[in-house]
């Protein structure tokens, strides 16, 4: 079975990768994320503030609010800490939050969604109505409420953000399961004596991985954004943890003073990681299912749409 | 000859918003060990449902199913599992019935894994290789995926999967109707060989009379959830009794331009199975109808040795 498993992985992933590779924007996104990973992994080595590790926390009021330049490529903040070092270490925090939140919310969401879709009836109704309740509350508002109730801290932020992400997985998976459970190969497996758990795990879920993976990529971007937002308004990670949102929050006070670099770089970091993840997500969606590609409009079609609009305008 | 499978008064009604849909309505038949019963009828007449109900893939509404003299209807979950090791199914669509995420060898190994039929990986591998060999799949195809193969090879996978547990009885639900004619012949020959080698008993469902004639010992003709005629494969073709069978047979194309066929063209449509007409279900379209047909539903009765017909005119 060892050999069998290997072939399986190769065939599916290679095919997707081949298509993904042809998408330059998605590849750029992937490059950015890999770069951020390298930055996060080597944060201690590439960003020791003046030789003192961990560097991100070294305060030196003599160096406060320096503009980018000598020794500090992104400048320093109001306490004289190296912004580049803090961004590098902040990448660790953000990527970790993103990953853990996605892993946990995906696991819970996929489990709930597949149970709801597979069994239907009352079970489906109970699960999906609970999901609807979560969805009815604005995501950020709920995250703030949970984070405020639980108190600040890394774990609490992840709980607050993760709870918000569960519904989308559950809904996607449920819709997929409803479609796939009716297929003949599921019935075939049942006729061989497979139990429900095996049907879901071996036959249904592997056939709905594509949208889950796409959602996970996008979900990671959302998790990072919400975590940064929580830190920005002060209910998330607390200083001195180098979190991008918290850095923005600190720097905000100095914007009017002309210290643009203090807000620019953390803001850029957040924007970049979210942009990159979304591009990867889009690329993956296209790579998994080339038939579903609808975002791009061909030149010819664009011309046609333009002409129709012009005609409509001329009429009125 | 003893009957391996005996079905008595089997009924399956599906609940629909408009009322119960009579998919299978009071069907009885027997299949002897090592023989094939061909079940023929047009789309929607309940043949596939019959095949699935017999395996309890769909729960019947009423009736009795005796398999090897055991009442399957009384079985609990664990016993059904045991029963399914003995009774398998080959599906119509070899594209839909194979999991696209599993390789050929994984698909064939699955029944063995589920029912814990092999002690270790080597034994499993060996059994899968054997099965692939039996159905004529080259060893090099073990690690490819179903979508890389043509319909005939895929159907061979489906057959290997059904054979894996070494069953006595297999339901073939239109196993060749999705295949090219040349490949149909290959698959039919394979099924025939397997039957002879392993003493298999088949319930062969098809809408193709040519195929049915080729494979069956006995043939049952279904119309709107009921068996209207059942007899050995020869007499049904040479001497059909039921008007519906006659009409069905007259529709077989004759590969000779000079022969003028006498076609019986039926009027009207098949009535809705949700509220089937009272009396004979074929009444509205029958060209031999008489008044008595409208009142009472004709029972399937034995008119001569081994020949069953459900028609007032023939009794």
Q: Find, in chain B, the residue whose alpha carbon is nearest to that of A205.
A: B101
Q: Which residues, listed in sequence order, are joined to residue A266 by a DSSP beta bridge? A: none
The dihedral built from the CA positions of residue A289, A294, A295 and A301, taken in this order, carries a sign that is positive
Q: Are A119 and A127 in contact (CB under 8 A)?
A: no
Asked if the A2-315 domain carries CATH number 1.10.3720.10, the reply is yes
Q: Which residues, listed in sequence order, are joined to residue B62 by a DSSP beta bridge? A: B11
Q: Are B113 and B166 in contact (CB under 8 A)?
A: no
d(CA A132, CA B216): 55
- Tell me which chain B residues have a C-beta less than 8 angstroms from the C-beta of A196: none
Three-class secondary structure of residue B226 per DSSP: strand
- At B44, give phi and psi (nearest 5°): 80, 10
Element (H, E) at A159: helix A154-180
Q: Which of A3-12, A73-82, B174-183 has the highest mean pLDDT?
A: B174-183
- Tell me which chain B residues have a C-beta less than 8 angstroms from the C-beta of A12: 101
Q: List the strands of the sheet with B169-173, edge to edge.
A: B87-90, B169-173, B201-206, B36-40, B218-223, B226-232, B307-309, B301-304
* Contact (CB<8Å) B143/A188: no
CA angle A194, A198, A200 (to 5 degrees): 120
Which pTM was predicted? 0.78
Q: What is the DSSP string of A240-274?
A: TS--HHHHHHHHHTTTTTT-HHHHHHHHHHHHHHH
Element (H, E) at B13: strand B3-16
* Contact (CB<8Å) B91/A3: no
List CB contacts of B57: < 8 A, sequence separation 6 or more.
A187, A190, A191, B89
Q: Select the residue from A7, A193, A213 to test the B interface by mutation, using most B Cβ atoms within 10 A.
A: A193
Residue range A44-94, pLDDT digits in tens: 776 664 544 445 666 666 666 677 777 667 777 777 777 888 888 888 888
d(CA B13, CA B23): 6
Q: Are B142 and B104 in contact (CB under 8 A)?
A: yes
Q: How many CB atoms lie within 10 A of CB A32?
A: 17
d(CA A229, CA B248): 72
- Tell me which chain A residues have a C-beta less than 8 angstroms from the C-beta of B115: 192-193
Q: Give percent above pLDDT 90 in chain B.
A: 16
Q: Tell me the three-class secondary structure of A72-98, residue by residue.
A: ECCCECCCCCEHHHHHHHHHHHHHHHH
Lowest mean pLDDT among A178-192, A196-210, A285-299, B87-101: A285-299
* Contact (CB<8Å) A188/B109: no
Domain ranges of chain B: 3-100+169-182+193-309
The dihedral built from the CA positions of residue B132, B135, B136 and B141, taken in this order, carries a sign that is negative
Residue range B250-292, pLDDT digits in tens: 887 777 777 777 778 787 778 888 878 788 888 878 888 887 7
Q: Which of A231-235, B165-169, B246-250, B287-291 has the highest mean pLDDT?
A: B165-169
* Contact (CB<8Å) A188/B91: yes
User: How much is the pLDDT for A56?
Assistant: 62
| Structure tokens belonging to residue A191 | 């006729």
Domain ranges of chain A: 2-315
Complex ipTM, two decimals? 0.82
Q: Measure A177 CA to nearest chain B CA, in Å.
A: 14
User: Which residues of A lie closer than 8 Å to B, measured between beta carbons?
Assistant: 1-4, 7-8, 11-12, 183-185, 187-194, 198, 202-203, 206-207
* Contact (CB<8Å) B114/A194: yes
Output the CA–CA distances (angstroms, integers) from residue A290 to A174, A217, B32, B290, in the order listed.
22, 18, 51, 61
Please name the residue ranges forming H helices in chain B.
Answer: 47-54, 77-86, 104-114, 121-134, 151-163, 181-198, 209-215, 233-238, 243-250, 292-295
d(CA A159, CA A262): 29
Q: Select the residue from A2, A176, A185, A212 to test the B interface by mutation, using most B Cβ atoms within 10 A.
A: A185
What letter would DSSP give residue A297?
Answer: -
CATH homologous superfamily, domain B3-100+169-182+193-309? P-loop containing nucleotide triphosphate hydrolases (3.40.50.300)
Question: Which residue's structure tokens are 């698909």?
Answer: B107
Three-class secondary structure of residue A21 per DSSP: helix
């Amino acid at each position: 079975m060892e050999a069998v498993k290997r072939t399986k992985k190769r065939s599916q992933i290679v095919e997707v990768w081949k298509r993904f590779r042809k998408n330059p924007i998605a590849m750029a996104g992937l490059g950015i994320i890999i770069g951020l990973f390298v930055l996060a992994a080597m944060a201690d080595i590439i960003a020791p503030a003046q030789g003192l590790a961990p560097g991100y926390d070294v305060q030196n009021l003599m160096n406060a609010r320096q503009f980018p330049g000598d020794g500090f490529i992104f400048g320093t903040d109001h306490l004289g800490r190296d912004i580049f070092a803090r961004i590098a270490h902040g990448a660790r925090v953000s990527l970790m939050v993103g990953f853990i939140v996605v892993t946990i919310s995906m696991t819970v969401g996929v489990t709930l969604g597949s149970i709801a879709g597979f069994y239907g009836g009352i079970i489906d109704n109970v699960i999906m109505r609970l999901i609807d309740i979560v969805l009815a509350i604005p995501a950020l508002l709920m995250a703030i409420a949970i984070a405020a109730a639980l108190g600040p801290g890394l774990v609490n932020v992840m709980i607050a953000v993760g709870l918000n992400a569960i519904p989308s997985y559950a809904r996607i998976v449920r819709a997929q399961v409803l479609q796939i459970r009716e297929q003949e190969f599921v019935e075939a497996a049942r006729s061989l004596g497979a139990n429900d758990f095996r049907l879901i795990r071996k036959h249904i879920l592997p056939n709905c991985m594509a949208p889950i993976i796409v959602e996970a990529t996008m979900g990671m971007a959302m998790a990072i954004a919400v975590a940064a937002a929580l830190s920005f308004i002060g209910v998330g990670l607390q200083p001195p943890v180098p979190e991008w949102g918290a850095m923005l929050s600190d720097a905000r006070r100095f914007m009017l003073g002309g210290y643009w670099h203090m807000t620019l770089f953390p803001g850029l970091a957040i924007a970049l990681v979210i942009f990159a993840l979304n591009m990867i997500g889009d690329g993956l969606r296209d790579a998994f299912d080339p038939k579903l590609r609808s975002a791009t409009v061909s030149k010819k079609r664009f011309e046609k749409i333009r002409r129709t609009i012009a005609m409509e305008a001329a009429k009125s | 000859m003893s009957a391996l499978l005996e079905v008595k008064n089997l009924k399956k009604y599906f609940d629909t918003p408009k009322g119960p849909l009579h998919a299978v309505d009071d069907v009885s038949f027997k299949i002897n060990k090592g023989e094939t019963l061909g079940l023929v009828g047009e789309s929607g007449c309940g043949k596939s449902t019959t095949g699935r109900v017999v395996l309890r893939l769909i729960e019947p509404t009423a009736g009795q199913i005796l398999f090897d003299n055991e009442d399957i209807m009384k079985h609990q979950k664990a016993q059904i599992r045991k029963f399914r090791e003995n009774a398998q199914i080959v599906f119509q669509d070899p594209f839909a019935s194979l999991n696209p995420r599993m390789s050929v060898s994984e698909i064939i190994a699955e029944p063995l894994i589920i029912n814990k039929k092999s002690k270790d990986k080597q034994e499993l591998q060996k059994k899968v290789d054997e099965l692939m060999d039996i159905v004529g799949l080259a060893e090099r195809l073990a690690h490819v995926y179903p979508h890389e193969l043509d319909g005939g090879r895929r159907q061979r996978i489906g057959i290997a999967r059904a054979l894996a547990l070494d069953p006595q009885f297999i339901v073939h639900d239109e196993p060749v109707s999705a295949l090219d004619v040349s490949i149909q012949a290959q698959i039919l020959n394979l099924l025939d060989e397997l039957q002879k080698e392993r003493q298999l008993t088949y319930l062969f469902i098809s809408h193709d009379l040519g195929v049915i004639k080729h494979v069956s010992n006995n043939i049952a003709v279904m119309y709107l959830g009921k068996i209207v005629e059942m007899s050995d494969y020869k007499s049904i073709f040479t001497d059909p009794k039921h008007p519906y069978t006659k009409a069905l047979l007259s529709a077989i194309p004759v590969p000779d331009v000079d022969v003028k066929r006498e076609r019986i063209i039926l009027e009207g449509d098949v009535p809705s199975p949700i509220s089937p007409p009272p009396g004979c279900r074929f009444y509205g379209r029958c060209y031999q109808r008489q008044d008595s047909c409208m009142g009472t539903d004709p029972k399937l009765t034995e008119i001569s040795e081994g020949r069953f017909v459900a028609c007032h005119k023939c009794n």
